[in-house]
């Protein structure tokens, strides 16, 4: 068997693939956090719970209504995004004039409620979600075996990330959004409904998390805790990348996923902590984050 640095290539590429998959989810989730933070100045602690909700709604659609994966991809973000809009209108909207920390505390409380409710209903053990039949199986690339579904996740999340970047950086809607991030009062004076834009932005960020949840459902087990630890890693990813740039958070997400995968090959004991260690190093060298600007 061929080896690189004393590691079988099969294992190396296998972990690299897992790293890329994890990186896809880091990128999707940190992208949503960054979009929400840009306009609302709130760190959405509920993001992990909303990702979990995405997976659960897909699971329930499949098991109660017989709605398959492809429809779930379209329906789930809308449903979960709508709950996000309700949360924004009823609660978050009351906090914009206060210290930003209250937004963090509120969303933390909401995450506890949502995760607790799901745990009451479905217990802590993971529920299986079937892979869509079109994407079962895989192909042999010669140096490794690539399951089709995993390839799809990487391609789809890249497409979503780039699509989001395009909308925000290259379209008229995106220019309104960026302008409102800079100076909401002035944009409102030009006749643009900023409060509605804020609401929709939050809904969009939540929908992104839910979409990530649907894509994650066939890979990881669907469980109430699936987002709780993930969101802390994503926070570290956000600190490393800085939330200033959309492309930055995408690159950081994928990059850190790959680094984590490589750590699993070469020094497995550190694979849980490597991202946090990188965060500590980045804080020492470049406190604003790799792509952030110090205010």
Partner 1 sequence: MPKSQKIALAVMTAFFLLAPLVLYPVFLMKAMCFALFACAFNLLIGFGGLLSFGHAMFLGTAGYACAHAAKVWGFPPEFAILFGTAMAALLSFVTGLLAIRRQGIYFAMVTLALAQMIYFYYLQAPFTGGEDGIQAVPRGILFGVLNLSNVWAMYGMVFVIFMGGFLLVYRVIHSPFGQVLKAIRENEPRALSLGYDVNRYKLLAYAISGTLAGLAGATKALVFQLASLTDVHWSMSGEVVLMTLLGGLGTVFGPVVGAFIIITLETYLAQLGAWVTIVQGVIFVICVLTFRRGVVGELGNWLRKPL
Residues that bind partner 1 (CB under 8 A): 37, 41, 43, 91, 94-95, 98, 100-102, 104-106, 108-117, 119-120, 229, 232-233, 235-236, 238-239, 269, 272-273, 276-277, 279-280, 283-284, 287
Contact residues for 225 (Cβ-Cβ < 8 A; gap 6+): 52, 115, 119, 124
Contact 49/115 with Cβ under 8 angstroms?
Answer: yes
Q: Smaller CB distance to partner 1: residue 29 or 62?
A: 29
Q: Which residues of 51-62 are buried (b: 16+ CB within 10 A; e: fewer)?
A: bbbbbbbbbbbb
**Tokens (6 digits) for 14:** 């296998």
Q: Residue 43 CB, nearest distance to partner 1 (Å)?
A: 5
Measured from the CB atom, the residue of 122 and 176 that comes closer to partner 1 is 122
**Closer residue to partner 1 (CB): 192 or 270:** 270
The CB-of-149 to partner 1 minimum distance in angstroms stands at 28
In angstroms, what is the minimal distance from the CB of 221 to partner 1?
18
* Nearest of 159, 162, 168, 290 to residue 237 by alpha carbon: 290
Q: Whose Cβ is closer to partner 1: residue 159's or residue 280's?
A: 280
In angstroms, what is the minimal distance from the CB of 27 to partner 1? 17
> What kind and span of H or E run contains 258?
helix 246-266
**Cβ-contact 53, 212 below 8 angstroms:** no
Which is nearer to partner 1, 183 or 273 (by Cβ)? 273
- CB of 84: closest distance to partner 1 in angstroms? 15
Pick between residue 24 and residue 30 the one whose CB is nearest to partner 1.
30
The nearer residue to partner 1, 52 or 72, going by C-beta atoms, is 52
Min separation Cβ 274 and partner 1, Å: 9
Shortest spacing between CB 121 and partner 1, in angstroms: 9
Record the tokens describing residue 73, joined without a space.
């991809």
Q: How far is CA 279 from CA 133, 231, 242, 258, 266, in A?
A: 39, 15, 11, 15, 20
Residue pair 47/212 in contact by the 8 Å Cβ criterion: no
Instruction: Quote the CA–CA distance of 203 and 79 in Å, as a whole number.
Output: 10
- Dihedral of alpha carbons 173, 179, 182, 187, sign: negative
């Amino acid at each position: 068997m061929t080896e690189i640095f004393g590691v079988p290539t099969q294992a190396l590429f296998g972990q690299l693939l897992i790293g890329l998959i994890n990186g896809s989810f880091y990128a999707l989730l940190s992208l949503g956090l960054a979009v929400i933070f840009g306009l609302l100045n709130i760190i959405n602690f509920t993001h992990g719970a909303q990702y979990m909700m995405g997976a659960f709604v897909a699971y329930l659609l499949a098991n109660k209504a017989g709605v398959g994966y492809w429809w779930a991809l379209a329906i789930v973000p809308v449903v979960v995004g709508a709950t996000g809009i309700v949360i924004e209108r009823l609660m978050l909207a009351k906090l914009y004039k206060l210290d930003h920390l209250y937004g963090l505390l509120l969303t933390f409380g909401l995450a506890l409620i949502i995760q607790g409710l799901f745990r009451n209903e479905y217990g802590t053990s993971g529920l299986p979600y079937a892979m869509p039949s079109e994407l079962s199986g895989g192909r042999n690339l010669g140096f490794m075996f690539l399951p089709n579904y995993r390839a799809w996740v990487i391609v789809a999340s890249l497409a979503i990330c780039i699509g989001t970047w395009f909308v925000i950086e290259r379209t008229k809607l995106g220019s309104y959004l960026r302008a409102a991030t800079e100076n909401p009062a002035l944009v409102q004076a030009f006749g643009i409904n900023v409060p509605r834009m804020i609401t929709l932005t939050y809904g969009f960020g939540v929908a992104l998390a839910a979409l990530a949840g649907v894509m994650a459902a066939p890979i990881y087990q669907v469980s109430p805790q699936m987002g709780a630890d993930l969101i802390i890693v994503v926070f570290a990813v956000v600190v490393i990348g800085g939330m200033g740039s959309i492309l930055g958070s995408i690159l950081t997400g994928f990059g850190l996923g790959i680094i984590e995968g490589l750590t699993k090959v070469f020094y497995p004991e550190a694979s849980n902590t490597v991202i946090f260690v990188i965060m500590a190093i980045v804080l020492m060298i470049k406190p604003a984050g790799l792509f952030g600007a110090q205010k």
